[in-house]
Chains A and B, each alone.
Chain A
Amino acid sequence: MTDLAWIDGALTAARPQAVGALLRYFRDLDIAEEAFQDACLRALKAWPKNGPPRDPAAWLIMVGRNAAIDGVRKRSRQTALPDDEAALSDLDDAEAPLVERLDGADYRDDVLRLMFICCHPDLPQTQQIALALRIVSGLSVRQIARAFLVGESAMEQRITRAKAKIAGAGVAFETPGPVERAERLAAVAAMVYLIFNEGYSASGTEREDRAPLAAEAIRLGRLLLRLYQSEPEIMGLMALMLLQQSRSDARFDADGGIILMDDQDRGRWNRTMIGEGLALIDKAMRHRRTGPYLVQAAIAALHARAATPADTDWAQIDALYATLEQLQPSPVVTLNRAVATSKAHGPEAALAMIAPLEARLSGYFNYFGVKGALLLQMDRRTEAREAFDRAIALANSTAEAAHIRQHLDRLTADAKAAGIS
């Protein structure tokens, strides 16, 4: 009666809300996850027969809670329990008041809490992401292990250790105040963007296993935005992810090599994602409260709006980067700004802008890639070659190295053509 693919989608969609509510009841992540798992198994039995419930999340919470309470009672060897069928037949009555409660703020706070516990500052970022993908998204340990290029048992251990750490740290279950809620939301937004970048930045052979993380981050972003409809920074985050992701099909050649934005086939940019990203920026701008995600989204939007690279409004992008430098001062932001500055005001201005960063970015691949490209534009070839050599030595992936090698090969070919060895 109900198709299995639909059930699968409904279970995935309900997971953050259901596990979040179960965590609030039991205050124990393992019990909450087990309860949800139990509820899913029962859903797979009951839904094809009876059709899906009106509110799948409420059903899963109720059934999961009963299952977990039964489990606790069974373990403490108490009285006999009603069987599954009896428990399920009570659901229709119980569902209505629960649904009403779920519409309220509890539900938002449940999901936010569940996401927030994965952002514990003691956990390194990769563990935060792994934990979120396991707990919030419900990815299997195997899928996560593949995305992070480690063995399954190693990832299992990592997740277990991360869980132990957050269990020891204690989680605030009281309803958060406005300040605390804003802090949680900012931490969660940062984590969602990290997940996105794990997927978006993957290149070459890693793409197959890691690219789905970008889509998952977008799904989590939509969830956050549905809960916090009026937060311009969450709109900005969503727009940023959508506008970047819109280019994903055009970013790599057949061999998995990086294609820079100037050389991408803009016909392959995803117009649906661009449209949604632009609409979200429109909404966010009405709030007249700017933040780093929104500014970065606005930069991405100027690229998306340009029909050809020559149409790009570099002066406006340069100005937006200047705003971003104020909001979020960082040498990497300045480095990105330098690319826009070079297009708007020439390579000399850009080179002067990045020169003071060299000490802090001496281990950063992109710094020497940008520096080499600027020097090349100014025809300072020997220095350009030095910069590219350093960039190659610092490359994080074969795609990055291959990209720089193109520059070096061109320099060598030019030098040969000119009769210089």
Chain B
Amino acid sequence: MLYAILCYNAEDVVMSWSQAQDDAVMDQLGVVHQRLEREGKLGPSLRLMPTTAATTLHKQKDLVIDGPYAETKEQLLGLYIVDIAGLDEGLAIARELGKANPGGAYELRPLRLYLPGVDMPATESA
């Protein structure tokens, strides 16, 4: 069974960590990551850039808003990782996806860290 583990924390607190504090946390996480990877259980893990780097496309109104998706009516249902030149290309892809599946919004948030982890089996109804 594949699970996603979504990470939530107070951004302003994490962003006020010193480099040394941040490194210490990442080192502690690294120990866990390594074990999971040895066990063949860890797929891609990623760290997002701060919400200040995010841009949100509201699909139906085709409205682009600076900042993260802030509504609370909708739930997080999925995510894509794309390798692109920049925000404009990201928005073009999001619009194309939005045509295929209207409603809701896409938040585009650059990744700060991407670790591919081990190969994972594709699920049956991909």
Contact = CB atoms under 8 A, between A and B. Distances in A.
A276 B112 contact: yes
Given A225-B52, A280-B53, A283-B87, A13 B13 contact: yes
A53 to B, nearest CB: 11
Nearest to B67: A229
A10 interface: yes
Interface stretch (A36-44, A215-223, A321-329, A345-353): A215-223
Interface in A213-237: 215, 219, 222-223, 225-226, 229-230, 235
Interface in A185-234: 215, 219, 222-223, 225-226, 229-230
A13 B86 contact: no
B98 interface: no
Nearest to A280: B53
Interface residues of B, number: 27
Interface of A: 5-6, 9-10, 12-14, 56, 215, 219, 222-223, 225-226, 229-230, 235, 238, 272, 275-276, 278-280, 282-283, 286
B6 interface: no
B15 interface: yes
Decide if the interface of chain A is mainly helix, strand, loop or mixed. Answer: helix
Question: Which of A6, A10, A12, A222 has the most chain B CB atoms inside 10 A of its CB?
Answer: A222
A282 B13 contact: no
B124 interface: no
Interface stretch (B16-24, B27-35, B73-81): B16-24
A276 B50 contact: yes
A286 B55 CA distance: 11
Contact of B112 (A9, A275, A280): A275
Contacts of B49: 275-276, 279
Contacts of B120: none
A95 to B, nearest CB: 16
Contact of A229 (B13, B52, B86): B52
Nearest to B49: A276
B86 A219 contact: no
A283 B88 contact: no
B12 A13 contact: yes
B64 interface: yes
B16 A12 contact: yes
B10 interface: yes
Contact of B17 (A9, A280, A286): A9
Enumerate the 4 nearest inter-chain pairs by beta-carbon distance, A residue then B residue, closest first: A229-B67, A13-B12, A282-B87, A279-B110
A140 to B, nearest CB: 16
Question: Which of A5, A14, A278, A282 has the most chain B CB atoms inside 10 A of its CB?
Answer: A282
